[in-house]
């Protein structure tokens, strides 16, 4: 009988009476962006889908800083926006300012495969189409030697690869005709780099 009561005592706190099991706590916080009289609910935990579906919660104004959770619930574009917002928020809180276009470039790189890839050696390994992209992060000599040994080629058409050679990806001209209409002409000038010649 004692063991049954002890087991009941241990398992009773795990029973969910009401709410979301993945949420551990919630705090009411003043929303500094909108003003003093506006409040927001900060929730610690995951399961964005259940939070958005909770009665009384405005799903259109619900956000999360968990990019994988956002990707699973709202898709890759929402996850990309979350990456941009979180990087900007973190930098501003540390008194640093980064041009939004650079952050967008990083978010594009992390999400262009249709899934969120971290800027780590494991995430970049999934982006292995580009030798220069891999070499620009870690183990530069190893990646370049392997590329030369196996005869890999790099089209140098991406933003990161082009910046390695300090070259433009496209050449853009703005022309004004008689009707004052602006035309945008773009010419692809992606050089093709063969790493097999680097061994000679």
The verdict on residue 25 lying in a domain is yes
- The Cβ of residue 94 has, within 10 Å, a number of other Cβ atoms equal to 8
**Domain membership flag for residue 198:** no
What pLDDT score was predicted for residue 76? 93
pLDDT tens-place string over residues 131-155: 777 776 667 788 778 778 877 777 6
What is the pLDDT, as a whole number, of residue 30? 80
- Is residue 190 domain-resident? no
Instruction: Report if residue 116 sits inside a domain.
Output: no
In a domain, 183, yes or no: no
Q: Determine the structural domain holding residue 55 and report its residue range.
A: 15-62
pLDDT, residue 84, reads 93
Alpha helices in the chain (DSSP H): 2-11, 48-52, 67-74, 76-93, 100-111, 121-125, 131-135, 140-149, 159-164
Number of folded domains that form the chain: 1
Contacts of 183 (CB under 8 A, 6+ apart): 174, 175, 177
Q: Report the chain's mean pLDDT, rounded to a whole number.
A: 74
Could you tell me if residue 179 is inside a domain? no
Position 129 in a domain: no
Q: In terms of pTM, does the model score above 0.75?
A: no
24 inside domain: yes
* Mean pLDDT confidence for 58-76: 90
């Amino acid at each position: 009988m004692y063991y049954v009561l002890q087991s009941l005592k241990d398992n009773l706190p795990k029973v969910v009476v009401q709410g979301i099991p993945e949420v551990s706590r919630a705090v009411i916080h003043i929303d500094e962006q909108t003003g003093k009289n506006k409040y927001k609910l900060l929730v610690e935990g995951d399961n964005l889908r259940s939070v958005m579906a909770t009665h009384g919660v405005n799903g259109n104004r619900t956000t999360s800083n968990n990019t994988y959770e956002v990707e699973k619930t709202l898709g890759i574009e929402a996850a990309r926006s979350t990456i941009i917002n979180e990087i900007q928020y973190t930098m501003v809180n540390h008194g640093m300012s980064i041009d939004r276009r650079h952050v967008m470039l990083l978010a594009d790189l992390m999400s262009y495969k249709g899934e969120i890839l971290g800027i780590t050696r494991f995430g970049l390994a999934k982006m292995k189409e580009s030798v220069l992209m891999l070499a620009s992060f870690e183990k530069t000599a190893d990646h370049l030697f392997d590329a030369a040994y196996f005869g890999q080629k790099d089209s140098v058409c991406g933003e990161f690869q082009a910046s390695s050679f300090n070259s433009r990806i496209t050449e853009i001209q703005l022309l004004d005709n008689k009707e004052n209409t602006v035309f945008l002409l773009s010419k692809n000038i992606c050089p093709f780099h063969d790493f097999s010649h680097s061994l000679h």
